[in-house]
């Protein structure tokens, strides 16, 4: 029987170095208490934010010092809690950290309303009086831009205090799916039991034995059926929270509120969904290639993750994956490549799955810490691409921190997903051009196509679903599991018109944590589109285009995301990057059809 190890059984070299933040949980506790006490330093400025230019500068410097410590305290607790979601002490730390974060937001909630009492001429006068304020000019512009959607200081403090409550649907869902749910063991192709987990589900759906894949598919979604009402309730409440918070800030819709935060025009969302829906023939061509490759009459949902080669593909141990990913980013310049390689040897990555570990993958960190990458590495091509993806995020953070002051080091997700997908695309090109192993080359092509399918088309389908359920709530219609099934199933049938959509996969919405992130998923799709355009520029123009791309990463949050991508030569207000990305997808489908003689 395959098994998932306990965390204590995983070698320390394959765990991230949380000790680089605090040497022990006791040290974290001391930092927590100091950070909590320091909130009073911020509160002391309430009512006098703009009393003078010097006072404003002092407040912003104090706020930075306090929030840097708070974010580090929160980061450590979250990392520890994700290592094993069953560990109640670590969950308690994360809960305390969440409360501290909420309290910090509340303590600072007066700043923006008090700044918004000024107009732009007033701000310019303060900057002229105190030159040190000049580096905050983009921040001031962003604050004043949001003036119509910011409430009084009292209301803002209340909304900040409520964050701990409004996060409840997402946190409840996370604990249910990651800690409380256990999945069945099914009979493997060799007759031995195979344990299904959140981390290995899609990997198991890439096994060549079709009947085994069917058993995995049905057992996995059968388990979700047992918590149908609980998950339906958490998602319904999350959507209603988004709607109510948008109303509280004078927005007409939850989507408008979510996109206005990073200053992304709603038209960008509509361009994406409409352009992808107009090009579903490309997705359906890919699905039909899978059907022909598998030599089956009907493509079932448990066939969808299968390779076009019909097998699992080569085993890629983690050590080999590291080397290949580092080699692949050479077009971005030697300093970029070297720094990424050093990070991989400095325990940035928590590599392998262990019992209770949070599912999926992510990159995290603060201005004062190294990056931390959560993986559940499975020794396959897909995991190697995920590693490249998360390293793109980490390197983006490192370049932005180097180039920007604290207030601009963070960047919007809209830009972040470009950095991750550029790395994936470079890895694909590197393997196609340099891999000596023909099997690896073919699987790299297949993996790129698969990730493109799941990133552009699948995430756009998610975006359409997310819009539909929010519009449903905004119209006053109830959101029940049956409604979620119907809305999701209809989209699945539209996108995969030439495949069989079974009742199990109509419940797929239940296993997608990103639906709790408030109009987040569309950025994966815009990201892959922009990344394809960036890589094409680098292939055609070389170092000059790579320099533009690095300059965009270094901007962090110093400009709005649409403007940041313009520095890299990409206009995301136009459908063109999406249309161009789909053309690249079609070209790779042509190549796959030729190589595999399909």
The residues that are catalytic are 390
Beta-bridge mates of residue 185: 195
Cβ atoms of residues 80 and 18 within 8 Å = yes
What backbone phi and psi angles, to 5 degrees, belong to 420? Answer: -70, -40
Residue 227: how many CB atoms within 10 A of its CB? 17
> How much of the chain is in helix, strand and coil states, percent to nearest 5?
70, 5, 30
Helix (H) or strand (E) holding 440: helix 438-452
- Closest by Cα among 567, 494, 35 to 280: 494
Give me 377's structure tokens: 């590495």
Are β-strands 349-352 and 372-377 bridged in parallel, bridged antiparallel, or unpaired? parallel
Cβ atoms of residues 365 and 346 within 8 Å = no
Distance CA 161, CA 261 (A): 19
Beta-bridge mates of residue 362: 374
Distance CA 568, CA 563 (A): 9
Cβ atoms of residues 299 and 498 within 8 Å = yes
Distance CA 441, CA 425 (A): 14
Distance CA 112, CA 435 (A): 53
Strand order in the sheet with 349-352: 349-352, 372-377, 362-364
How many angstroms from the chain centroid is the CA of residue 43? 33
Q: Which residues contact 598 (CB under 8 A, 6 or more apart)?
A: 289, 292, 293, 308, 592
CA distances from 539 to 153, 286, 395, 534 (A): 51, 25, 20, 9
């Amino acid at each position: 029987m395959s098994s998932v190890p306990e965390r204590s059984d995983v070698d320390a070299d394959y765990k991230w170095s949380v000790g680089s933040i605090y040497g022990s949980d006791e040290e974290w506790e001391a930092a927590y208490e100091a950070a909590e006490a320091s909130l009073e330093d911020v509160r002391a400025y309430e009512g006098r934010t703009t009393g003078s230019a010097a006072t404003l500068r002092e407040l912003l410097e104090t706020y930075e010092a306090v929030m840097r410590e708070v974010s580090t305290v929160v980061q450590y607790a979250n990392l520890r809690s994700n290592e094993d979601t069953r560990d109640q002490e670590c969950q308690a730390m994360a809960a305390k950290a969440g409360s501290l974060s909420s309290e910090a937001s509340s303590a600072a909630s007066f700043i923006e309303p008090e700044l918004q009492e000024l107009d732009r001429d007033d701000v310019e006068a303060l900057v002229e009086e105190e030159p040190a304020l000049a580096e905050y000019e983009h921040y001031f512009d962003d604050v004043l831009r949001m003036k119509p959607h910011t409430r009084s200081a009292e209301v803002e403090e209340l909304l900040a205090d409520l964050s701990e409550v409004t996060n409840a649907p997402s946190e409840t869902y996370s604990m249910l799916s990651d800690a409380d749910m256990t999945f069945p063991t099914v009979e493997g192709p060799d007759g031995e039991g195979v344990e299904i987990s959140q981390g290995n589900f899609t990997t198991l759906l890439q096994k060549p034995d079709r009947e085994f894949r069917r058993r995995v598919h049905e057992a996995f979604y059968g388990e979700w059926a047992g918590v149908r009402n609980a998950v339906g309730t958490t998602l319904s409440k999350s959507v209603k929270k988004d709607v109510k918070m948008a109303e509280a800030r004078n927005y007409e819709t939850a989507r408008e509120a979510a996109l206005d935060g990073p200053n992304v025009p709603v038209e960008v969302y509509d361009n994406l969904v409409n352009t992808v829906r107009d090009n579903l023939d490309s997705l359906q061509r890919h699905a039909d290639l899978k059907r022909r490759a598998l030599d089956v009459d009907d493509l079932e949902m448990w066939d969808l993750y299968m390779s076009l080669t019909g097998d699992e593909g080569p085993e890629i141990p983690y050590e080999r994956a590291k080397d290949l990913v580092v080699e692949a980013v050479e077009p971005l310049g030697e300093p970029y490549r070297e720094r990424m390689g050093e990070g991989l040897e400095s325990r940035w990555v928590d590599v392998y799955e262990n019992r209770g570990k949070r599912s999926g993958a992510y990159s995290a960190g603060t201005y004062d810490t190294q990056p931390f990458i959560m993986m559940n590495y499975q020794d396959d091509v897909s995991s190697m691409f995920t590693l490249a993806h998360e390293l793109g995020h980490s390197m983006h953070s490192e370049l932005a921190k180097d180039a920007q002051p604290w207030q601009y080091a963070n960047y919007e997700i809209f830009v972040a997903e470009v950095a991750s997908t550029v790395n994936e695309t470079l890895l694909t090109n590197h393997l196609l051009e340099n891999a000596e192993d023909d099997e690896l080359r073919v699987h790299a092509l297949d993996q790129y196509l698969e990730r493109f399918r799941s990133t552009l088309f699948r995430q756009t389908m998610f975006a359409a679903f997310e819009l539909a359920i929010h519009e449903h709530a905004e119209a006053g219609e109830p959101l029940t599991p049956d409604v979620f099934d119907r809305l999701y199933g209809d989209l699945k049938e539209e996108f995969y018109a030439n495949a069989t959509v079974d009742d199990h996969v109509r419940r797929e919405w239940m296993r997608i944590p990103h639906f709790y992130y408030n109009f987040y998923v569309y950025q994966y799709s815009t990201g892959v589109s922009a990344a394809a355009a960036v890589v094409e520029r680098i292939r055609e123009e070389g170092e000059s285009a790579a320099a533009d791309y690095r300059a965009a990463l270094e901007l962090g949050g110093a400009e709005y995301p649409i403007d940041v991508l313009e520095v890299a030569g990409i206009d995301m207000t136009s459908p063109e990057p999406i249309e161009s990305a789909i053309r690249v997808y079609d070209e790779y489908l042509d190549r796959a059809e030729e190589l595999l003689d399909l």
